[in-house]
Amino acid sequence: QVQLQESGPGLVKPSQTLSLTCTVSGDSISSGYYYWSWIRQPAGKGLEWIGRIYKSGSTNYNPSLKSRVTISVDTSKNQFSLRLSSVTAADTAVYYCARDKDWRGFDPWGQGTQVTVSS
Amino acid sequence: DIQMTQSPSSLSASVGDRVTITCRASQSISSYLNWYQRKPGKAPKLLIYAASSLQSGVPSRFSGSGSGTDFTLTISSLQPEDFATYYCQQTYSTPIFTFGPGTKVDIK
């Protein structure tokens, strides 16, 4: 059974960098043929796809966030990570990681982690 | 950018009801449309991919249809565990994905 678990600070100060890690179990990032994505959902708003990475390190980002986002992968730890720089209150959201099957959808997802941007 | 809309934004229904949720794309997306279920505090769950293909393990009371710009998710007989929020997602413009705003299904 494939499981994903997000981890990282729940509180980040404005202008700083948000950093989250997603640990994958039950599947190998390095031997599979999937992408691995980050998605977020601010309270009361819809889901927003942030970006994704392939095992090779190739990335795709949402154009609206591209200038501030970096996604990286550590295949030795079976993890991938998100960094979002220069955060503001608008970046407060529940952040999810997911296995990305491209046109076949995101499955499974992690439980999500709440990140609040506040001083 | 492809914009996704859903209707209704919320609905109240009873156990056993047939429920239909509509998703519309701002341009044709062929059949590149997925549906997700999200319950509070839980991971979103993929229900339907490619407009009408049932994800493994998902009950057969869930079905999807449509192509082009108009899509529907149908729950044939609503069960207590189906009260949740449902989202559509277009994957036509991969790798840029967009979601609909969601439809909340609650108990009448």
Q: The tokens of B57 are what? A: 């393990």
Suggest the residue from A34, A39, A47 to mutate for an interface test with chain B (most B CBs closer than 10 A).
A47
- Segment B61-83 shows an average pLDDT of 97
Measured distance CA(A79)–CA(A39) in Å, rounded: 16
| Residue that has been written with the tokens 């030795």 in this structure | A76
pLDDT for residue B40 is more than 90 = no
10-residue block means of pLDDT along chain A (119 residues)? 96 98 96 95 93 96 96 97 98 98 95 97
**Averaged pLDDT score across all residues of chain B:** 96
Q: What is the pLDDT of residue B45?
A: 97
Q: Which percentage of chain B shows pLDDT scores above 90?
A: 91
How close does chain A come to B17, measured CA to CA in Å? 26
In this prediction, residue B95 carries a pLDDT of 87
Q: How far is A10 from chain B (nearest CA, A)?
A: 15
* pLDDT bucket at B94, cuts 50 / 70 / 90: confident
pLDDT above 90 (res B4) = yes
Please return the burial class of A119, using the count of CB atoms within 10 Å of its CB with bins 0-12, 13-18 and 19+. Answer: exposed
CB pairs under 8 A between A and B: 63
User: Which whole-number Å values give the CA distances from B57 to A40, A44, B48, B74, in the listed order?
Assistant: 25, 29, 11, 17
Contact across the interface for B44 and A47, Cβ inside 8 Å = yes
Report the pLDDT value the prediction gives residue B1, as an integer from 0 to 100: 87
A54–chain B Cβ distance below 8 A for any pair: no
Choose from A54, A101, A107, A113 for mutation: most chain B CBs within 10 A.
A107
Q: Does B90 touch chain A (CB under 8 A)?
A: no
Mutation target among A34, A106, A111, A114 for the B interface, most CBs of B within 10 A? A106
- Sequence-distant (≥ 6) Cβ neighbours of residue B7 within 8 angstroms: B21, B22, B24, B103
Percent of all residues in chain B with a pLDDT value above 70, rounded to a whole number: 100
End-to-end CA distance of chain A: 39
Q: Which residues of B touch A108 (CB under 8 A)?
A: 43, 45-46
Whether A99 contacts chain B with CB within 8 A: no
